[in-house]
């Protein structure tokens, strides 16, 4: 898809975290192809949710220490 | 490129039996009055490709809310639409079906490939998406000119307009992806995490401040108790604990306890339990100590004797008072015997008086009878002469009778008065007798109380009390002895109490040190939280979330930038066509030419489109309804022309494009369509005879007309083909 290539070109030109962002973009485009915009939303929310779960778990332990 | 070649429709909206359309000419006209099925024919193509995506609120078309797919007059059969698309690979056929019986019936989709392979269900839907690469919105805004959608570009909210133009430009994937990323609300989640971390940090700082205040307070208390800074250590606390244990042990030995077990905390952590142990042990030892038990027994006996003594003294005082009352009475009125004698004497007097009264009455009666007799026997002459001296005495008997009556009366009255006085005296004596009895009774009660007191004294002292004994003196003696014994016990206990007190003091100091050290430990633990693996984990998660947000921001920027660049390129390419079509169709005197520009919507990062007249003014406010439609058509046609190579369908569908257009505008639209017909197949639905005639006359490509007429509920539209 042309739009994907164009965005990828811009990501490749980035100075920071080029590889990570490329991987992320690939995940976004794959979700879009499979399930459209809702798929992207769900995928990103899932990824952020996993981080948030780890954050909340650590915070729960810290709360217990407090 | 896919060319719509054939369409078969049955049961769809106004259609009943199968109706076939063959699109084998560059221009296909669907002509007829309103409500004959022209628009439904174009809608059938949409529904065949996109199913439920073209129904409902999500389409952005008001008329599609509650839109009915199945013919409402049919009670059985199926809705079936088949569209065939020619491509360089061959013909692809798409069929969508649903039962007319149920409104929300499941749809069946079949795609037949050029090699006659058939795909069904999700596989077929997936292929439709992959093959044509269109969403319903894409199709509606770049292939199928829908009046409502075109008007939305100019009349609706800027966001909807930008969305529609993006789709016309083939940029919807950028916008969709951006919307998908925005929908994840990553910044919001990161913000929540940041807030939680900040809240935790604040709570830690607050806890450290609170503990520091507590430590300072306890330290001040410790110093006032004579504890030095050097003693505020765990080692010192443990030494104190050992000292306390030894002191408790010594006390136990002194108090004669045989079941005392020594306990010494082995570590600082055991000191909290040790406090409780010391308290329990000292209380137990103290309560079981013989001296303490003896002191308690003496104190109990002392209290009891004091109470008995008080009761006895009270009873004695009462008895003395009552005795005095009785003695005073006797002195004043005599005792019971004297009063009884007086009463008897008085009663005797009354009897004598009554006897006298009887005698007097009898005498009076006799004299009265004698007078009456004399009155009867005396001669009338004798009645005026004294019978003794013979002297004249007129009315002698009458005088005698009156004088006698007077004398009797005086005598009787005197007797009655004496009798009354005797009665009063008797009553007074009886009252005094009753008073005396009451005093006697009260005195007896007091005597009984005192005697009970004597019995209590005897029981309390455990001895017999003789009449010659003084109970009070005996009580005083016993109380003095108890007081002496208590004094001895107090002295014996005093030293042990000092030891207990010393243990309590030591324990209090140990508690203060323990509190200080516990608070310091807790404060230290909180201060070490920042270096804990849990906090590191928290920070790592937050960093990862932050990084994800940053990465997605960078990707969003790249997306927005690419979208804008592509939009600018297409607008640049379409600019001439847009201008050309608008000038060609509208020929507006105040708008010498039309330009379109794209900028970034700073809030969303999405493309924002604007229109300008070549003289720099905004054309929208001065456009009539006809002009607006011209502008919409120009935009659709111009962008379609400009995005020609990215379009996968090589046909355009226009539904009633001449609304609000005057004759000249219609002719100019036909001129524009003549250009487009050279590269795209045109499928145009119109009820406009003038427009149809103009098309038939001025379009140089070959044409075919499907006439729609005579629609009925039972058979649907009557469609005839005319070349």
Q: Is the Cβ–Cβ distance between B607 and B601 less than 8 Å?
A: yes
Predicted confidence band at B59 (pLDDT cuts at 50, 70, 90)?
Answer: low
Is the confidence at residue B48, as pLDDT, over 60?
Answer: yes
Q: Is the Cβ–Cβ distance between B619 and B613 less than 8 Å?
A: yes
Please give the Cα distance from B185 to B692 (Å, whole number): 52
Phi, then psi, of B530 in degrees rounded to 5: -60, -20
Query: Could you tell me if residue B589 is inside a domain?
Result: no
Average pLDDT of the segment spanning B225-234: 92
Interchain proximity B541–A6, CB inside 8 Å: no
Phi, then psi, of B690 in degrees rounded to 5: -60, -45
Which residue would you say has higher pLDDT here, B629 or B124?
A: B124
The predicted-structure confidence for B404-425, as pLDDT tens digits, reads as follows 788 888 888 899 999 999 999 9
Query: Could you tell me if residue B581 is inside a domain?
Result: no
Phi, then psi, of B719 in degrees rounded to 5: -115, 130
B340 and B483 share one domain: no
B458 and B310 share one domain: yes
Domain that holds residue B682: 1-134+648-723
Query: Could you tell me if residue B328 is inside a domain?
Result: yes
Q: What is the DSSP letter of B720?
A: E
Q: Is the Cβ–Cβ distance between B383 and B377 less than 8 Å?
A: no
Is the confidence at residue B399, as pLDDT, over 90?
Answer: no
The predicted-structure confidence for B363-381, as pLDDT tens digits, reads as follows 888 877 877 777 777 666 6
Contact status of A35 with chain B (Cβ, < 8 Å): no
Best of A19, A24, A40, A53 to mutate (most B CBs within 10 Å, chain B): A40
Average pLDDT of the segment spanning B102-121: 87
Q: Please name the residues between 139 and 178 in chain B that touch chain A, using a CB distance below 8 Å.
A: 171, 173-174, 176-177
Is the confidence at residue B207, as pLDDT, over 70?
Answer: yes
- Cβ neighbours of residue B97 closer than 8 Å, sequence gap 6 or more: B78, B79, B80, B81, B107, B108, B109, B110
Angle separating helix axes B396-461 and B336-377, nearest 10 degrees: 170
Six token digits for residue B204: 């830690």
B330 and B235 share one domain: no
Q: Is the Cβ–Cβ distance between B631 and B582 less than 8 Å?
A: yes
Q: Quick one: pLDDT at residue B5?
A: 96
Q: Quick one: pLDDT at residue B152?
A: 60
Average pLDDT of the segment spanning B482-507: 89
In chain B, the percentage of residues whose pLDDT exceeds 70 is: 94
Q: Is the Cβ–Cβ distance between B135 and A33 less than 8 Å?
A: no
Q: Quick one: pLDDT at residue B156?
A: 57
Q: Quick one: pLDDT at residue B646?
A: 65
Q: Please work out, in degrees rounded to the nearest 5, the angle formed at the alpha carbon of residue B719 by the alpha carbons of B102 and B93.
A: 60
The CATH number assigned to the domain holding B344 equals 1.10.287
Please give the Cα distance from B169 to A2 (Å, whole number): 13
Please give the Cα distance from B382 to B375 (Å, whole number): 10
Q: Which residues of B636-664 are buried (b: 16+ CB within 10 A; e: fewer)?
A: bbbbbbbbbeebbbbbbbbbbbbbebeee
Contact status of A38 with chain B (Cβ, < 8 Å): yes
* Contacts with A51 from chain B: Cβ below 8 Å: 541, 544-545, 548
Q: What is the DSSP letter of B107?
A: P
Pairing state of beta strands B90-99 and B594-600?
unpaired
Query: Could you tell me if residue B304 is inside a domain?
Result: yes
B324 and B441 share one domain: yes
Final residue in a domain of this structure, among B448, B469, B490: B469
CA atoms within 13 A on the CB side of B519: 19
Please give the Cα distance from B588 to B620 (Å, whole number): 12
B445 and B322 share one domain: yes
Helix (H) or strand (E) holding B4: strand B3-10
With CA atoms as reference, report the closest residue to B568 among B619, B609, B604: B609
Q: Which of A32-36, B17-21, B144-148, B425-429 has the lowest mean pLDDT?
A: B144-148
**Nearest beta carbon to residue A38 from set B180, B534, B537:** B180
* Contacts with B563 from chain A: Cβ below 8 Å: 3
* Contacts with B545 from chain A: Cβ below 8 Å: 48, 51-52, 55
B486 and B435 share one domain: no
- Cβ neighbours of residue B145 closer than 8 Å, sequence gap 6 or more: B633, B636, B652, B653, B654, B655, B657
B311 and B440 share one domain: yes
Please give the Cα distance from B625 to B454 (Å, whole number): 127
Q: Is the Cβ–Cβ distance between B644 and B679 less than 8 Å?
A: yes
Contact status of A15 with chain B (Cβ, < 8 Å): no
Best of A47, A49, A51, A56 to mutate (most B CBs within 10 Å, chain B): A51
B305 and B451 share one domain: yes
Q: Is the Cβ–Cβ distance between B711 and B41 less than 8 Å?
A: no
Final residue in a domain of this structure, among B419, B441, B469: B469
Query: Could you tell me if residue B151 is inside a domain?
Result: no
* Contacts with A6 from chain B: Cβ below 8 Å: 562, 565-566
* pTM for the structure as a whole: 0.58
Angle separating helix axes B533-585 and A2-12, nearest 10 degrees: 130
Q: Quick one: pLDDT at residue B615?
A: 86
Final residue in a domain of this structure, among B487, B506, B528: B528
Which residue would you say has higher pLDDT here, B626 or B347?
A: B347
Interchain proximity A65–B180, CB inside 8 Å: no
- Cβ neighbours of residue B402 closer than 8 Å, sequence gap 6 or more: none
Is the confidence at residue B642, as pLDDT, over 70?
Answer: no
**Nearest beta carbon to residue B176 from set A17, A24, A32:** A32
Rounded alpha-carbon distances, angstroms, from residue B578 to B148, B450, B563, B633, B679 = 19, 132, 20, 9, 17
Q: Quick one: pLDDT at residue B610?
A: 82
Interchain proximity A38–B183, CB inside 8 Å: yes
The predicted-structure confidence for B441-467, as pLDDT tens digits, reads as follows 999 999 999 999 999 999 999 999 998
Q: Please work out, in degrees rounded to the nearest 5, the angle formed at the alpha carbon of residue B594 by the alpha carbons of B588 and B599.
A: 150
The predicted-structure confidence for B127-177, as pLDDT tens digits, reads as follows 998 888 777 767 876 788 876 666 565 555 556 668 777 766 768 788 889
pLDDT averaged over chain B?
88
What is the strand order of the sheet B90-99 is part of?
A: B19-22, B3-10, B78-87, B90-99, B108-112, B118-120
Query: Could you tell me if residue B406 is inside a domain?
Result: yes
B406 and B424 share one domain: yes
CA-based torsion, B512, B513, B518, B524: positive or negative: positive
Best of B180, B536, B606 to mutate (most A CBs within 10 Å, chain A): B180
Angle separating helix axes A18-65 and B533-585, nearest 10 degrees: 140
Q: Is the Cβ–Cβ distance between B18 and B9 less than 8 Å?
A: yes
Bridge partners of B19, per DSSP, are: B9
Interchain proximity A58–B541, CB inside 8 Å: yes
Bridge partners of B658, per DSSP, are: none
Please give the Cα distance from B470 to B478 (Å, whole number): 13
Q: Which 3-state string (H, E, C) describes B636-653?
A: HHHHHHHCHHHCCECEEE
Q: Is the Cβ–Cβ distance between B199 and A59 less than 8 Å?
A: no
Query: Could you tell me if residue B457 is inside a domain?
Result: yes
Burial (Cβ within 10 Å: 0-12, 13-18, ≥19) of residue B301 = middle
Please give the Cα distance from B147 to B155 (Å, whole number): 12
* Contacts with A35 from chain B: Cβ below 8 Å: none
Is the confidence at residue B234, as pLDDT, over 60?
Answer: yes
Best of B174, B547, B551 to mutate (most A CBs within 10 Å, chain A): B551
The CA-to-CA distance between both ends of chain B, in Å, stands at 26
**Nearest beta carbon to residue A6 from set B186, B537, B566:** B566
The CATH number assigned to the domain holding B122 equals 3.40.50.300
Instruction: Name the residue in chain B with its Cα closest to that of A49.
Output: B189
Interchain proximity B532–A65, CB inside 8 Å: yes
Rounded alpha-carbon distances, angstroms, from residue B88 to B2, B112, B609 = 8, 15, 36
Contact status of A5 with chain B (Cβ, < 8 Å): no
B87 C-beta neighbours (distance < 10 Å), count: 15
With CA atoms as reference, report the closest residue to B133 among B106, B163, B167, B156: B167
B268 and B361 share one domain: no
Contact status of B73 with chain A (Cβ, < 8 Å): no
Six token digits for residue B694: 């103009």
Q: Please name the residues between 571 and 610 in chain B that touch chain A, using a CB distance below 8 Å.
A: none
How many domains does chain B divide into? 3
Interchain proximity B555–A21, CB inside 8 Å: yes
B316 and B455 share one domain: yes
B459 and B313 share one domain: yes
Is the confidence at residue A23, as pLDDT, over 90?
Answer: yes
Please give the Cα distance from B591 to B613 (Å, whole number): 6
**Nearest beta carbon to residue B184 from set A7, A20, A48:** A48
Contact status of A32 with chain B (Cβ, < 8 Å): yes
Please give the Cα distance from B327 to B140 (Å, whole number): 132
CA distance B687 to chain A (A): 38
Average pLDDT of the segment spanning B658-665: 89
Best of A24, A38, A57, A59 to mutate (most B CBs within 10 Å, chain B): A59
Rounded alpha-carbon distances, angstroms, from residue B350 to B407, B420, B424 = 22, 9, 11
* Contacts with A47 from chain B: Cβ below 8 Å: 548
Query: Could you tell me if residue B566 is inside a domain?
Result: no
Q: Quick one: pLDDT at residue B153?
A: 57
Rounded alpha-carbon distances, angstroms, from residue B193 to A24, B186, B235, B545 = 21, 11, 43, 9
* Contacts with A37 from chain B: Cβ below 8 Å: 176-177, 179-180, 183
Contact status of B646 with chain A (Cβ, < 8 Å): yes
């Amino acid at each position: 898809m042309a739009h994907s290539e164009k965005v990828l070109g811009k990501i490749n030109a980035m100075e920071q975290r080029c590889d990570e962002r490329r991987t992320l973009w690939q995940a976004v485009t794959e979700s879009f192809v499979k399930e459209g915009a809702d798929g992207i939303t769900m995928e990103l929310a899932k990824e952020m949710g996993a981080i948030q779960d780890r954050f909340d778990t650590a915070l729960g332990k810290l709360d217990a220490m407090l | 490129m896919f060319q719509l070649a054939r369409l078969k429709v049955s049961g769809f909206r106004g259609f009943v039996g199968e109706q076939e359309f063959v699109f084998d000419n560059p221009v296909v006209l669907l002509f007829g009055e309103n409500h004959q099925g022209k628009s439904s024919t174009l809608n059938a193509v949409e529904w065949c490709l996109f199913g439920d995506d073209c129904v409902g609120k999500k389409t952005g078309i008001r008329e599609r809310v509650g839109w009915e797919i199945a013919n409402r007059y049919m009670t059985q059969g199926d809705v079936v639409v088949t569209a065939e698309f020619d491509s360089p690979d061959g013909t692809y056929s798409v069929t969508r079906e649903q039962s007319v019986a149920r409104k929300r019936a499941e749809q069946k989709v079949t795609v037949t490939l050029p090699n006659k392979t058939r795909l069904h269900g999700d596989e077929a839907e997936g292929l439709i998406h992959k093959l044509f690469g269109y969403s319903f919105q894409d199709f509606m805004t770049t292939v199928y000119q829908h009046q409502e959608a075109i008007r939305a570009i100019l009349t609706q909210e800027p966001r909807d307009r930008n969305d529609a133009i993006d789709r016309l430009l083939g940029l919807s994937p950028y916008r969709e992806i951006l919307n998908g990323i925005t929908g994840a609300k990553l910044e919001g989640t990161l913000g929540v995490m940041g807030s939680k971390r900040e809240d935790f940090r604040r709570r830690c700082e607050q806890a450290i401040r609170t503990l520091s205040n507590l430590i300072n307070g306890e330290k001040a208390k410790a110093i006032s108790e004579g504890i030095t800074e050097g003693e505020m250590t765990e080692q010192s606390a443990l030494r104190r604990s050992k000292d306390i244990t030894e002191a408790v042990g010594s006390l136990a030995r002194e108090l004669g306890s045989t079941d005392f077990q020594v306990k010494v905390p082995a570590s600082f952590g055991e000191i909290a339990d040790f406090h409780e142990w010391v308290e329990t042990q000292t209380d137990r030892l103290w309560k079981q100590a013989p001296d303490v038990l003896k002191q308690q027994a003496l104190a109990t006996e002392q209290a009891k004797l004091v109470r008995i003594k008080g009761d006895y003294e009270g009873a004695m005082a009462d008895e003395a008072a009552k005795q005095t009352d009785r003695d005073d009475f006797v002195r004043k009125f005599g005792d019971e015997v004297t009063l009884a004698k007086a009463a008897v004497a008085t009663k005797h007097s009354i009897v004598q008086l009554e006897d006298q009264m009887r005698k007097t009455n009898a005498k009076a009666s006799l004299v009265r009878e004698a007078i009456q007799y004399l009155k009867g026997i005396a001669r009338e002459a004798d009645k005026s002469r004294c019978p003794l001296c013979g002297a004249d005495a007129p009315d002698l008997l009458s005088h005698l009778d009156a004088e006698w009556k007077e004398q009797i009366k005086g005598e009787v009255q005197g007797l009655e008065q004496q009798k009354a006085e005797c009665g009063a005296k008797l009553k007074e004596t009886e009252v005094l007798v009753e008073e005396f009895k009451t005093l006697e009774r009260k005195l007896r009660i007091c005597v009984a109380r005192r005697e009970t007191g004597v019995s209590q004294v005897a029981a309390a002292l455990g001895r017999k009390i003789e009449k010659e004994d003084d109970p009070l003196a005996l009580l005083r003696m016993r109380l003095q002895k108890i007081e002496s014994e208590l004094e001895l016990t107090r002295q014996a206990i005093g030293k042990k109490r000092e030891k207990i007190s010393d243990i309590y003091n030591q324990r209090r100091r140990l508690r203060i040190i323990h509190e200080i050290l516990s608070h310091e430990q807790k404060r230290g633990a909180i201060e070490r939280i920042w270096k804990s693996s849990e906090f590191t984990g928290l920070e790592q998660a937050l960093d990862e979330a932050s990084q994800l947000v940053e990465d997605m921001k960078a990707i969003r920027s790249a997306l927005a930038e690419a979208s804008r660049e592509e939009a600018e390129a297409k607008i640049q390419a379409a600019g001439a066509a847009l201008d050309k079509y608008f000038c060609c169709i509208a020929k507006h005197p105040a708008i010498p030419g039309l330009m379109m520009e794209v900028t970034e919507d700073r809030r969303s990062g999405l493309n924002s489109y604007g229109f300008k007249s070549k003289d720099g003014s905004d054309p929208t406010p001065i456009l009539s309804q006809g002009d607006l439609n011209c502008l919409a058509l120009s935009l659709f046609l111009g962008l379609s022309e400009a995005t020609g190579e990215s379009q996968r369908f090589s046909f355009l569908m226009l539904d009633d494009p001449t609304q609000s257009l005057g004759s000249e505008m219609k002719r100019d639209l036909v001129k524009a369509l003549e250009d487009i017909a050279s590269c795209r197949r045109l499928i145009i639905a119109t009820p406009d005879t003038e427009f149809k005639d103009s098309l038939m006359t001025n379009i140089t490509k070959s044409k075919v007309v499907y006439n729609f007429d005579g629609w009925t509920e039972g058979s649907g539209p009557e469609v005839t083909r005319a070349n």
